[in-house]
Homo-oligomer: A and B are copies of this chain.
């Protein structure tokens, strides 16, 4: 074997010699990578703490991700349970609090490899839906994993439309129990995580029936498996729904209930209660409940969606500086593929997108915290705006960030198709976010309902919430840019996005109104406008992202180098968006033909500028090799060595020759005499 094969111990080791093609990229950084890392972490101490926790995780063999790409669904699940139980022990030993920063750092490294995922939602739903008394009973058990719970809402026949859920809970006053049933196949619970093989308990959403009358959806605490031997409780049928596009670590499950009886006390009763005599009683405002949905979406962006795109960018951009392919200049050494404009056009907008959504998620989190404080004081004014914003931004974040991961994957050519690159699984996982926590189209239509309402308010002179204040505009203006560098002025492009959002929303509203005035029923008219209404919600959310990125830049006034490089990314994000949806901006003449050409040139020029800092900008995300778990994307850029070392470990290389003996030998022996 040649000498390049000497170093066998390459997986996840960062003590390698760095590939000079990657090394040189770091020498020319225009800013301090460490400083940017600190900013992303929220301070130097936090970077320090994160690294300490990550080092602990990575030095513990139970948490190793080695061989993960070789495992079956079943092995991944088992491995996840093992890791989760180990982590809970570690947390107890270290005194890490549930919801504290240390565990968040652990999740940053392990998120795709832990079990009890929906247990977290189960706990959150208890906190949102249970009375203090109920909480006192269940919460301590759940927090220590003495019980594991699932959130059983979706059914085979209903996910989006909650009012259509069919599971029933009928009160039996004689025994003071609820009787739960799955009246049809489509009523079977389907998808809840941790339900398939793990959960002992479930928060089951069911139609409440009292004396034959339906009272709508309510949450019930149902024990589904024995704590003693894990057997299913009487009347319960449950299991795993089988293989998925990803999420092998999670046992999504099904659940059938046949006359399952639970005590009256098991209806989660913060907002409504059934009295012993079967009377129904509402308590407080269920509006607060919205907050749970919103916070789950915000956390999902911060903890999953944005980091996944960051990882994909890290892998693809590093690899694109060590991959050399084709002659750019005839006779020269082959070029780094990142030096091709087409490659920059694939990857650099994704890098900008990762930063953009980092900042907008942070903004959303702050906004949420404000909303949360206000509701605690009994003020609910911010809720509709917050809900519309979080829904719209969840949609474009999951849409763009999953498309972005896939662009990164494809940009690595053939090797991006190998699971060992780490990219396929980042994509197949990421893309699920377009469906769960609210299917994207459905969410867009919710946001657009809010926009249409606001347009109506504007017409009648009512004041609008700040994020939609632009809807009070009177008419369409024109872009003021004179030359291509004007498009690097945030005011210019923010205005363009605002204008687009306004135009698309107003046109949809006008069309809607027109159809209704022509006599079409409101619901038909709505449906006939829904493609454009969804576009309005997209355009609005896009505007917010750009505006918040620009706002974020202002906070770095004291750090010129950081501000400059982030400004490039902000410009790139904004101009790439205009370049990609050019029709939206030129259609009504807002941009002239000349301006459309300028913005294109300005965008293409930016690619070359951002390219220079591309590697430092991904280094700043500070993902360890172990965390990336990619043969292509490690810090040292030794992509080929790692691909080879890892491939050799594949189980497909460690099989007996049964296949040959059984199927091939009888064929091949016919050639023996002829060769």
Where the two chains meet, the residues of A that have a C-beta atom closer than 8 Å to any C-beta of B are 1-2, 4-5, 69-70, 72-74, 77-78, 81-82, 85, 88, 137, 141, 144-148, 154, 156-161, 164, 182-186, 188, 190-191, 196-198, 200, 223, 227-230, 237, 239-245, 251, 254, 258, 324-330, 334, 339-343, 345-346, 406, 410, 413-414, 416-420, 424, 428, 431-432, 434-436, 439-442, 445, 521, 523-524, 527-531, 534, 581-589, 593, 596, 604, 640-641, 643-644, 646-653, 655, 657, 659-660, 663-665, 667-672, 674-675
The answer to whether A239 and B647 touch (CB under 8 A), given A72-B72, A227-B672, A582-B583, is yes
Q: How far is the CA of A432 from the CA of B410 in the complex (A)?
A: 9
Is A147 a contact partner of B671 (Cβ separation < 8 A)? yes
CB contact between A146 and one of B160, B659, B667 (< 8 Å): that residue: B667
Look across to chain B and name the residue whose beta carbon is closest to the beta carbon of A580: B583
Q: How far is the CA of A144 from the CA of B188 in the complex (A)?
A: 51
Is A652 a contact partner of B240 (Cβ separation < 8 A)? yes
- Looking at the assembled complex, report how far the CB atom of A320 sits from the nearest CB atom of chain B, in whole angstroms: 13
A70: which B residues are within 8 A, CB to CB?
A: 242-243
A671: which B residues are within 8 A, CB to CB?
A: 141, 146-147, 200, 227
Is B420 a contact partner of A439 (Cβ separation < 8 A)? no
Look across to chain B and name the residue whose beta carbon is closest to the beta carbon of A445: B342
CB contact between A664 and one of B81, B648, B657 (< 8 Å): that residue: B81
Is B74 a contact partner of A227 (Cβ separation < 8 A)? no
Q: How far is the CA of A159 from the CA of B534 in the complex (A)?
A: 41
30 pairs across A/B with beta carbons < 8 Å? A72-B651, A73-B651, A146-B671, A147-B668, A147-B675, A156-B640, A156-B643, A158-B325, A161-B327, A185-B640, A197-B659, A230-B660, A230-B665, A239-B650, A241-B418, A243-B418, A244-B419, A251-B652, A254-B644, A330-B523, A342-B445, A342-B534, A413-B435, A414-B435, A417-B435, A424-B428, A531-B604, A583-B584, A586-B587, A587-B593
The answer to whether A243 and B650 touch (CB under 8 A), given A160-B326, A329-B521, A582-B587, is yes
The answer to whether A531 and B417 touch (CB under 8 A), given A184-B2, A239-B653, A242-B70, is no
Is A417 a contact partner of B432 (Cβ separation < 8 A)? yes
Q: How far is the CA of A424 from the CA of B246 in the complex (A)?
A: 10
Q: How far is the CA of A529 from the CA of B608 in the complex (A)?
A: 12
- Looking at the assembled complex, report how far the CB atom of A502 sits from the nearest CB atom of chain B, in whole angstroms: 16
List 17 extra interface pairs beyond A160-B413, A588-B593, CB under 8 A.
Answer: A137-B674, A156-B644, A159-B414, A161-B327, A161-B334, A185-B644, A198-B664, A227-B669, A227-B671, A239-B648, A239-B650, A239-B653, A240-B650, A242-B650, A343-B441, A582-B582, A582-B587
The answer to whether A531 and B345 touch (CB under 8 A), given A184-B2, A245-B419, A671-B146, is yes
A237: which B residues are within 8 A, CB to CB?
A: 1
- Looking at the assembled complex, report how far the CB atom of A403 sits from the nearest CB atom of chain B, in whole angstroms: 9
Is B593 a contact partner of A663 (Cβ separation < 8 A)? no
Q: How far is the CA of A588 from the CA of B583 in the complex (A)?
A: 11
Q: How far is the CA of A418 from the CA of B191 in the complex (A)?
A: 10
Is A663 a contact partner of B82 (Cβ separation < 8 A)? yes
Look across to chain B and name the residue whose beta carbon is closest to the beta carbon of A247: B417
- Looking at the assembled complex, report how far the CB atom of A595 sits from the nearest CB atom of chain B, in whole angstroms: 10
Is B242 a contact partner of A659 (Cβ separation < 8 A)? no
A530: which B residues are within 8 A, CB to CB?
A: 340-342
Q: How far is the CA of A328 from the CA of B200 in the complex (A)?
A: 38
- Looking at the assembled complex, report how far the CB atom of A643 sits from the nearest CB atom of chain B, in whole angstroms: 7
CB contact between A434 and one of B410, B531, B583, B585 (< 8 Å): that residue: B410
- Looking at the assembled complex, report how far the CB atom of A131 sits from the nearest CB atom of chain B, in whole angstroms: 17
Is B185 a contact partner of A641 (Cβ separation < 8 A)? yes
- Looking at the assembled complex, report how far the CB atom of A95 sits from the nearest CB atom of chain B, in whole angstroms: 19
Is A240 a contact partner of B154 (Cβ separation < 8 A)? no
Look across to chain B and name the residue whose beta carbon is closest to the beta carbon of A241: B647
A144: which B residues are within 8 A, CB to CB?
A: 667, 670
A647: which B residues are within 8 A, CB to CB?
A: 239-242, 254
Is A652 a contact partner of B196 (Cβ separation < 8 A)? yes
Q: How far is the CA of A531 from the CA of B419 in the complex (A)?
A: 29
Q: How far is the CA of A342 from the CA of B527 in the complex (A)?
A: 8
A669: which B residues are within 8 A, CB to CB?
A: 227-228
A442: which B residues are within 8 A, CB to CB?
A: 326
CB contact between A228 and one of B158, B646, B651, B672 (< 8 Å): that residue: B672
Is A328 a contact partner of B527 (Cβ separation < 8 A)? yes
Is A154 a contact partner of B414 (Cβ separation < 8 A)? yes
Chain B CB count within 10 A is highest, among A81, A82, A240, A649, for: A240
Q: Which 5 A-B pairs have the closest CB atoms?
A: A582-B583, A242-B650, A583-B583, A146-B671, A245-B424
Is A523 a contact partner of B410 (Cβ separation < 8 A)? no
A258: which B residues are within 8 A, CB to CB?
A: 2
A587: which B residues are within 8 A, CB to CB?
A: 582-583, 586, 593, 596
Q: How far is the CA of A439 from the CA of B343 in the complex (A)?
A: 12
